[in-house]
Amino acid sequence: PYPNHRSLIPGFAELFLKTHDLVFASRPKFLAAEYMSYGQKNLGAAPYGQYWRNIRKLCTLELLSNSKVEFFKSMRREDLVNFVESLRTTAQDGSLIDISAKVESLINDVMYRMVVGLKDDRFKLKPNIQEGVSLTHVHGFSNELISDGRTGLGRRMKAVSKMVDELLDKIIEEHLSDAKEVQGTHMDFIDVMLSLIEANDSRKLHLGRDHVKAITLDMLAAGMHTSSTTVEWVIAELLKHPRVMKLVQEELQRVVGLDRMVEETDFIKLDYMKMVIKETMRLHPVAPLLIPHESIDDITIKGYFIPKKSRVLINTWAIGRDPNVWSSNAEEFYPERFIGTNIDFQGHDFRFLPFGSGRRKCPGIQLGLKVVELVISQLVHCFNLELPDNMSPDDLDMTEKFGIALSRANHLMVVPTYRLLANL
């Protein structure tokens, strides 16, 4: 028999993520995170305390700030141009495209260049990260399954972790040897962290090599998977709802025109596309239970005594489909429901928590949304996307594959046709 854990799935997310945020700001101990993030040294899994506050400050000010996101703008555009050209070439003969695989590859490349600074994956880091993500997303909350020798999960996680550690060491050594040539002009995330170590940063972040590796792995694993999963769901919902696809393309044509690609400066005018992304995240939150919180003190809420070290799961999937919150059409894909509302992506409105809320909300919201908006806008602006074999939109399979992350069970296949009037 496996030991029991005290767990709550609350109906009042605001009480846990705002009113009593500090009490529930920690994380439980997960073997998956122990194995895959250097003893929970990454931002997502680290317990609440001074170390977590330090790396949160590092990520917020040095890695995910407005200026840092803007710094990589030209690189993102280069990757998107190459993506569109490649898809255009492939689509010339009416070929069937695995758009899930294409989008995943693109976003992996974008994040890899930002974090690691490499255009190619000569170290073969990506497939090892993807294997680790796969193992963690399916079984990450279950210490019992991982520690049970009969499942082999613990052995597999340790093996993947060892391989990733060796590869990250090689990448860091390459960065250290090239440090004098970089000199701040093309600094990726690893360069920034290594420069802080070298400078003995005054904020006393106390970074060591394992911390750099844990944060690097966190950025890559989170950025690669969550963004590609969101894009995939958005495209699937647009294909299933041609009315909405038509409205998105009309907005893009009105704002951008058909003689160029979408630029990041266009996003502020793409109101309907933002509603489409919100509606997709409402129905298909990437993290349906967020990352579990753990209480650091005993507390009584609404008459219920919650002891220290209780795990709290926030069921964002259920909140997003609750008819008491979203009316009787809660299960329908209807972006117009956001017209005239102040609901944003930041977790201020507890009806909509795609990135969490409070102290432990995702610090990469801006970067994640930027990548999602870029890929979706280019796909639906540069191409008409059709389902294969004259499939009816009603027949498109929308089955979910449950895990820590909520992805599609099956890859999305489309037939793209280039629609711009000009070459890129």
pLDDT per residue over 244-297, tens digit each? 999 999 999 999 999 999 999 999 999 999 999 999 999 999 999 899 999 999
CB 269 within 8 A of CB 247: no
Q: Could you give phi then psi for residue 97, rounded to 5 degrees?
A: -115, 135
**Distance from C-alpha of 42 to C-alpha of 212, rounded to nearest angstrom:** 9
Residues placed in the known binding site = 362
Q: Cα–Cα distance between 148 and 141 in angstroms, integer? A: 14
pLDDT tens per residue, range 88-99? 999 898 899 999
DSSP symbol at 104: H
The answer to whether 51 and 206 have CB atoms below 8 angstroms apart is: yes
Q: How far apart are CA 287 and CA 316, in angstroms?
A: 8
Tokens of residue 185, six digits:
């002009």
**Gap between the Cα atoms of 335 and 333, Å rounded:** 6
pLDDT tens figures, 114-171:
999 888 778 888 888 888 877 776 665 677 777 777 878 888 889 999 999 999 999 9
The residues near 104 (Cβ < 8 Å, ≥ 6 apart) are: 224, 228, 232
Q: What pairing do the DSSP bridges indicate for beta strands 7-8 and 311-312? A: parallel
Residues annotated in the binding site for heme, as ranges?
Answer: 362
pLDDT for the residue 307: 96
Q: Residue 247: which residues within 8 A CB-CB, separation 6 or more? A: 272
CA 179, 184, 186, 191 torsion-angle sign: positive
Q: 7-418 — its CATH code?
A: 1.10.630.10
Cβ pair 33, 142 in contact under 8 A: no
What pLDDT band is residue 203 in, cutting at 50, 70 and 90?
Answer: low
Torsion, CA 332, CA 333, CA 335, CA 338, rounded to 10: 40
- Of 421, 414, 376, 393, nearest to 91 by C-alpha is 414
